[in-house]
């Protein structure tokens, strides 16, 4: 628990809060100011909009501890505010509310528009209110209400004039460009069309390792070595054909630790292998199953190896439940790319990449182990 002191609607409030308690819950449960509503708790619907130091903000995305020393104003705190009175009258007249759930946030956002954009037209009001969702009204009454308040205020002499429009710029002149900001293009991942497992996502990658196939094959038999090349993998136990452990996956701030096991099959003659695994992350309630097929083929007169990898996986639970599934695919691809880079580094004894992009604590430990291991094996 963390002590905080802040002003709520002009009143000093002191409290002990858990850092994870967001401002809306603090206002609703602790201050008993229940006019601030929670409609999504992920910053899209705007029902929880309050003022923090006079600026509209999502109280579901701000934690109460962050407001220590600040001034918070909720819908209950505007009774002396003339704009709010005008808006309330206008909302009622224009039928800008039905169930009333979005109304407090809508009013606070609307008041900000009236103050900040004194000459906003209906289109602008719509754009500016787009962070507040209403499921009942179809918005028209709300827009009309805000527009009418702005119009009424504009007819008063205090209205602020907007900035003069800038003179139109001259057309662009042709020129010879210098320098280059850009860097090389990287392929965007696309799922391979056919699917062996119903409902699984599949992608294929290949990469070249600067060692002959047999040397690579040997390394692939070395489960700790392979694990060491997979960022975020912690091996807890293993034998020749099974492995147990935990894999920590991070994508930006998202982190999941999948505990699970894998079964490994190898075909020494064909230089093909299969790894089948499954794991679950209790934290996000997510589960995954996957199968990695790899195949080695000689390149550069047998001095190099091309590793063909086919990854198929399914994901269940919270981590799977987003429409931007391309990101998970991107993550999978990146794991393979990192694996390739790590493997190459291991095999040719190069230093690992200067700055690992996803620095896992577990990964770091393995990295240092892996550098030692690689020196020992290849004697460089």
Partner 1 sequence: MTQGIGARIQRKEDARHLHGRGNFVSDMILPGQSEVAFLRSPIAHGRIRRIVKPSGAENQVFIRADLGDVAAIVAPATVPGYKLSEWHPLAHEKVRFVGEAIAMCVAPTRAEAEDLSEQIEVEFDELPVLVDTQAARMESTVRVHEQWNDNVFLTLNYESGFEAKAKGAPVVIRREIALARQAMVPMEGKAVLARWDDRTDQLLVYASTQVPHIIRIGLAQFLGIDQGQVRVISPDVGGGFGYKCILQPEELCVAWLALKFRQPFRYVEDRREHLVVGANSRQHQYRLTAHADERGRLLALDADITIDGGAYSAWPFTVALEPGQATGNLPGPYDFRGYRCRTHCVATNKPGFLPYRGVARTGVCFALELVIDAIARAVGREPWEVRHDNLVSAADMPYDNVARKHYDSGDYRKALILAREKIDLDAWRERQRRGERDGRLIGIGFASYCEQTAHGTSVFSGWGLPIIPGYDQATVRVTPDGGLEVRAGVHSHGQGMETTLAQIAHEVTGIELANIRVLLGDTGTTPYSTGTYASRSIVMAGGAVANACKALIPRFLAIGAHLMQAAVATMKYENGQIMGPRKSVSLRDVAEAWYLRPQELPPDVDLGGLEATVGFRPKRDTGAFSYASHAAVVAVDTEVGAVEILDYVIVEDCGTLVNPMVVEGQTLGGAAQGIGTALYEESPFDPNGQPLASTFADYLLPGPTEIPAIRIHHMQTPSPYTEFGIKGMGEGGAIAPPAVIFNAVNDALRSLGVELTETPLTPRRLLEAIDRAKSSTQPRVKNS
Partner 2 sequence: MKAARFDYLRPGDVGEALAALANAEGAKILAGGQSLGPMLNLRLARPALLVDISRLKALQQLEDAGRTWHIGAGVTHARLEDARGRLSGGEMLSEVAAAIAYRSVRNRGTIGGSLAHADPAADWPLALAALGASVNVRGPTPRKILVAHFIQGAFTTTLAADEIIESIDVPKLSRAGRYGFYKFCRKTGEFAEASAAAVLDPETGVASIFLGALRGIPQPLTSLAQQVAREGKIAASTEAVSQALAQSVSGLDAVEHSMATAVVTRALMQVLAP
At its nearest, how many Å lie between partner 1 and the CB of residue 60? 10
Only one of the segments 75-83, 204-212, 218-226, 361-369 lies at the binding site for partner 1 (rule: CB under 8 A); that segment is: 75-83
* Burial class, 162, CB count within 10 angstroms (exposed 0-12 / middle 13-18 / buried 19+): exposed
* Residue placing its CB nearer to partner 1 in the complex, 28 or 346: 28
Q: For the beta carbon of residue 184, count every other beta carbon within 10 angstroms.
A: 4
At its nearest, how many Å lie between partner 1 and the CB of residue 105? 10
Residue from 141, 189, 245, 277 touching partner 1 (CB under 8 A): that is 141
Q: Indicate the SS3 state at residue 51.
A: strand
At its nearest, how many Å lie between partner 2 and the CB of residue 60? 7
Q: 354 Cβ partners below 8 Å, 6+ apart?
A: none
At its nearest, how many Å lie between partner 2 and the CB of residue 48? 9
40 binds partner 1 (CB under 8 A): yes
285 binds partner 1 (CB under 8 A): yes
Residue from 59, 103, 148, 342 touching partner 1 (CB under 8 A): that is 103
At its nearest, how many Å lie between partner 1 and the CB of residue 320? 4
By rule CB under 8 A, what count of residues binds partner 1?
A: 74
Q: CA-CA distance, 311 to 252, in Å (whole number)?
A: 22
Q: Using CB distances below 5 to 8 A depending on partner kind, what does residue 61 bind out of partner 2, partner 1, none?
A: partner 2
Q: Indicate the SS3 state at residue 172.
A: coil
* Burial class, 133, CB count within 10 angstroms (exposed 0-12 / middle 13-18 / buried 19+): middle
Q: 259 Cβ partners below 8 Å, 6+ apart?
A: 245, 246, 279, 280, 281, 282
20 binds partner 1 (CB under 8 A): yes
Bridging pattern class, strands 242-251 and 201-209 = unpaired
Only one of the segments 39-47, 183-191, 230-238, 299-307 lies at the binding site for partner 1 (rule: CB under 8 A); that segment is: 39-47
257 binds partner 1 (CB under 8 A): no
């Amino acid at each position: 628990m963390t002590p905080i002191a802040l002003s709520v609607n002009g009143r000093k409030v002191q409290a002990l809060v858990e850092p994870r308690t967001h401002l809306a819950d603090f206002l609703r449960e602790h201050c008993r100011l229940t006019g601030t509503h929670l409609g999504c708790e992920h910053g899209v619907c705007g029902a929880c909009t309050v003022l923090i130091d006079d600026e509209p903000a999502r109280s579901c995305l701000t934690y109460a501890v962050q407001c220590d020393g600040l001034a918070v104003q909720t819908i209950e705190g505007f009774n002396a505010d003339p704009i709010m009175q005008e808006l309330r009258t206008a909302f009622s007249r224009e039928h800008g509310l039905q169930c009333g759930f979005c109304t407090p946030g809508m009013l606070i956002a609307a008041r900000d528009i009236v103050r900040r954009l004194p000459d906003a037209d209906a289109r602008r009001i719509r754009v500016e209110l787009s962070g507040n969702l209403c499921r009942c009204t179809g918005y028209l009454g709300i827009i009309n209400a805000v527009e009418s308040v702005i119009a009424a205020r504009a007819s008063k002499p205090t209205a602020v004039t907007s900035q003069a429009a800038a003179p139109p710029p001259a057309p662009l002149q042709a020129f010879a460009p210098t320098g280059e900001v850009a860097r090389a293009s990287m392929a965007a991942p696309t799922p391979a069309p056919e699917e062996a497992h119903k409902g699984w996502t599949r992608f294929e990658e290949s990469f070249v390792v600067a060692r002959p196939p047999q040397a690579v094959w040997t390394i692939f038999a070395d489960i700790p070595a392979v694990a060491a090349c997979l960022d975020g993998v912690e091996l807890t136990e293993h034998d020749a054909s099974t492995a147990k452990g935990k894999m920590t996956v991070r994508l930006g701030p998202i982190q999941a630790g999948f505990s699970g096991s894998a079964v490994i099959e190898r075909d020494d003659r064909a230089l093909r292998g299969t790894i089948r695994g499954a794991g679950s992350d209790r934290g996000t309630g997510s589960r995954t199953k996957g199968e990695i097929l790899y195949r080695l083929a000689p390149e550069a007169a047998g001095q190099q190896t091309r590793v063909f990898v086919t990854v198929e996986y399914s994901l269940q639970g919270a981590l799977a439940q987003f429409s931007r599934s391309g990101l998970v695919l991107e993550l999978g691809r990146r794991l393979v790319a990192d694996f390739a880079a790590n493997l190459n580094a291991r095999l040719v004894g190069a230093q690992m990449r200067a700055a690992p992009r996803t620095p896992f604590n577990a990964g770091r430990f393995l990295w240092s182990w892996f550098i030692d291991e690689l020196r020992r094996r290849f004697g460089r």
